[in-house]
Every structure is written in C-alpha cells, then in structure tokens.
C-alpha cells in the first residue's frame, strides 16, 4: 500500500496544471490527472514522465459528464485532495460565447464538487484569477480589495465559482478550500518540455511575442500607448509559472496539515512588481537578441492601466515568495517556443 497522498488534478495536461503535476511528483505526491484534451495534448503526460521519471495516471474525461467523472473517482479510491484547473480560459472567446463559458466552467465545478463530496474528498484548491478584482480602486491589490464584476464572462465564471466555494465552505464544516488568485503567469519549465502552447491565436502577451519572433505571427499588436503609465502601455504583474505552482503545493500542504485558519482562504499570487507591455517587449529583444515586429494600435475594451499584487499574505501564511525575475520568465518562454516548434 502506498503511503503517498493522492491528489486529483483536473486540467492537468494544461499549462499551469502540467507544471503543478511536476511539482507535486517532486514533492512525493501521487497524481491522477483528469483532462478532456480540448486545449492540451496527451504528449504532455510523456513529457511529465521525462522530467520526473514517473508517469502520472491519466483519465480522459469531460467534467460535464458526471457519470464518467463518478466512475473515475469511485475507481481511484482514497483521493486526499483536488486541485481544479479545468476550465475554458480565453477572455475574447468568452465575450463572444458567454453561454459556452458558463456552461463549461460552472457545470464542471458543480459536478466535481458533488461527486467528490459523495466520496468524502473534502480538500479543494481552486485555480482563480486576479480578474475577480475588476477595475480596482487601490493598488497594489490585497485580498481585502473587494471583488467586482469582471470585464469578461471568463472572469465572471471565476468570481461565481469562488462564491459557490465559499457558500459550501460556510455550510459544510468538513470542506476546506483555498482559492489562489493568479496575476499573469508566463514562462516555462527549465527542461523546455512543458510550457504554454495555446491552440490557435494566443490571447496572452508572451505567447504572442514568442510566436511573432519565431515567424508564426506577422506582428504583435500593442493595444494603446496613451495610458497614464510611464511609457503609456498597460502595466501587469507577471509571475513565472514555476513560482506559481510552488504556491499550490504549499497551499496543499497547509490544507492537508489542517493549518487553515478558516474553511475558505484566498491568496494572491504575484511578484508585487508591475511591468509594462513595452518593458516585456524590450526585455524579450534583449534576451532573444532580435528585434520584434510590433505596432501600436487602439486600446482594447476593458483593459485597465495598472494591475499588480500585494502577495504578503501568501508570504506570511504559505511561506511562499516568487523568486524568478522578468528575464528568467522570458528566457524560459523563448527556449520553450523554439523547442516546441522543432
């Protein structure tokens, strides 16, 4: 009999999920991945094995199929906790297809919570987002900032999900949840075996930069240079994905060791530093030793001038702090992009 704690990771073949699985295996957890492969690849499982020497158990499943999900959890007995990443996440697409996003992201969550409750799985880590803060009135953003209606249906699914989880935590004394609010994850594993490889046109800045540099995209559009920031472009808090996933393992250990101070806890995950779009472009050009083809275009609806975190609570309670700098993040993304296209 294995004495390892068994962790269910939904969306474990995705960008953040796969990096978390690697970190969990490094920390001697047994991992079961559920993924429907709608925005990821089965090859990721093999790459996780190449990095860790261990092949995690993989189950292909759409979480909207409750019966299939129930069969998987019933078969894999004694799961100690769930880390829930599985969700649609393209902001622009969510504006065009709100019903698809609410149906997928909320139904999946409800099915997962209902099924795991039937098997007494009481620990839950939720992959949330700084989008729940909307347009904050105060910076840096602390967990005491009030949540607001996000600008996209995608963001709103995160806000609604947190409200559902908080209600369950308030009503069921055995249920423990930690919601981790990410700022802007970028970067890739140092092996260049896993990283961000979005299907279709990227929604996020860095994959668009690397895809432009490698020749997949003609040019990068910079949406506005007339914001009230030092260089006129929006400022965001970018965090290396490997730093980010280390916080998930810290949160999981806090939960499994019964160290939570309440059934529902929230932590911001960011560096506390803001970098503008032009900062990122110039750092990429320095790291990659090449010029990037970009042009300034009109602002996008919903973009706010500045968003960056105060992550002191995670430092205090999780003993976690982001370690990698912007150059580290960009270098690993560029190395991953080059390897992924070979």
Which active-site residues does the annotation give? 154
84: Cβ–Cβ under 8 A, 6 or more apart, which residues?
10, 11, 109, 112, 124, 125, 126, 127
Alpha helices of the chain — where are they, by DSSP H? 15-26, 43-52, 66-75, 91-96, 98-118, 153-171, 205-214, 241-256, 277-288, 312-318, 326-340
265 in Cβ contact with 177 (< 8 Å): yes
Residue 86: CB atoms within 10 Å:
28
Burial tier of 132 (Cβ tally within 10 Å: 0-12, 13-18, 19+) = buried
- For residue 162, say if its preceding peptide bond is cis, omega within 30 degrees of 0: no
Q: How far, in Å, CA of 62 to CA of 11, rounded?
A: 10
CA nearest to 84, candidates 23, 158, 150: 158
């Amino acid at each position: 009999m294995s004495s390892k704690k068994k962790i269910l990771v939904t969306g474990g073949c995705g960008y953040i999920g796969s990096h978390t699985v690697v970190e969990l295996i490094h920390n001697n957890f047994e991992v079961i991945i559920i993924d429907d492969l709608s925005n990821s690849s089965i090859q990721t499982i093999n790459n996780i094995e190449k990095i860790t020497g261990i092949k995690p158990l993989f189950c292909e499943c759409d979480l909207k199929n409750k019966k299939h999900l129930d069969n998987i959890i019933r078969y894999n007995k004694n799961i100690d906790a769930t880390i829930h990443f599985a969700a649609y996440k393209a902001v622009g697409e969510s504006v065009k297809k709100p019903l698809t996003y609410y149906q997928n992201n909320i139904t999946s969550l409800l099915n997962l919570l209902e099924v795991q409750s039937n098997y007494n799985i009481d620990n839950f880590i939720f992959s949330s987002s700084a989008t729940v803060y909307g347009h904050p009135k105060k910076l840096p953003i602390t967990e005491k900032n009030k949540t607001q209606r996000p600008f996209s249906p995608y963001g709103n699914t995160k806000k609604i999900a947190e409200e559902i989880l908080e209600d369950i935590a308030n009503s069921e004394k055995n249920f423990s949840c930690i919601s981790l609010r990410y700022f802007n994850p970028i970067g890739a594993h140092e092996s260049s075996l896993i990283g961000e490889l979005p299907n279709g046109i990227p929604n996020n800045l860095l994959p668009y930069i690397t895809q432009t540099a490698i020749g997949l995209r003609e040019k990068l559009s910079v949406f506005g240079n007339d914001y009230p920031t030092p260089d006129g472009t929006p400022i965001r808090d970018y965090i290396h994905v490997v730093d980010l996933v280390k916080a998930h393992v810290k949160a999981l250990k806090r939960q499994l060791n019964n160290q939570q101070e309440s059934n529902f806890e929230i932590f911001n995950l960011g560096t506390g530093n803001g970098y503008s779009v032009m900062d990122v472009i110039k750092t990429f050009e320095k790291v990659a030793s090449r010029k990037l083809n970009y042009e300034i275009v009109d602002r996008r609806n919903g973009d706010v001038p500045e968003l960056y975190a105060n992550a002191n609570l995670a430092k205090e309670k999780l003993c976690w702090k982001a370690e990698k700098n912007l150059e580290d993040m960009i270098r690993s993304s560029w190395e991953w992009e080059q390897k992924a296209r070979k």
